[in-house]
Amino acid sequence: MPTPADFLEATQWAAIGTVALAIIAGLGFVFKWGIRFRLVGAAGFSAVLTVGLLGLSFEPFSRTMIEGALPYATVYDSGSSQVVIAVPNAITEDELDATLRQAASNLFKPYRLGIPGQTATVRARAIVHEDNGVSRLVYLGQVQPAPKDSGLDYQVQINTDLLA
């Protein structure tokens, strides 16, 4: 998968091509070539492509990988401040901490809008199958952004009594 650095490099090459097309279009007007208006269109289109590549270089696709994190599935996402992820039942406290931090890094993005005053929260849950045939959801922990003055990235809360 292309990284933001790859898109930035492509942006630089596209910008060079756009400038070259603009210079050729300018020469077309000076020498009254018949294709001068087509060159203006090509230069304008390449400028639009260059701006699009620049937009893709601002990390829309990058995913954070934290060592020790287990794979998780997003099972609920309100699109604003509430996200629930499913984790395996046999998860340790260290793995849960790493998984919650990875999910927070991947899911807490500036485009998440919420009601002012709401705190974005990612909760991790597992399914416990009881002997009587009933399954219930168990919330093992949650992560929220840390207050700006704390110096931390995230606040992780783990329900250690519910693990295993």
Question: For residue 130, how many other CB atoms are within 10 A of its CB?
Answer: 8
Helix (H) or strand (E) holding 136: strand 135-145
For residue 110, is pLDDT > 80? no
Looking at the chain, the whole-number percentage of residues with pLDDT higher than 90 is 67
What 3-state DSSP class applies to 28?
helix
How confident is the model at residue 8, as a pLDDT? 94
pLDDT average, residue stretch 75-91: 91
Is the pTM for the entire model greater than 0.85?
no
How confident is the model at residue 104, as a pLDDT? 92
Residue 115: pLDDT band (50, 70, 90) is confident
Sheet-wide strand order for 135-145: 73-77, 82-86, 121-129, 135-145, 154-158
For residue 113, is pLDDT > 80? no
CA 140 to chain centre: 24
CA torsion, points 142, 148, 151, 152, in degrees to nearest 10?
A: 20
**Domains of the chain: which residue ranges?**
4-56, 73-162
For residue 151, is pLDDT > 90? no
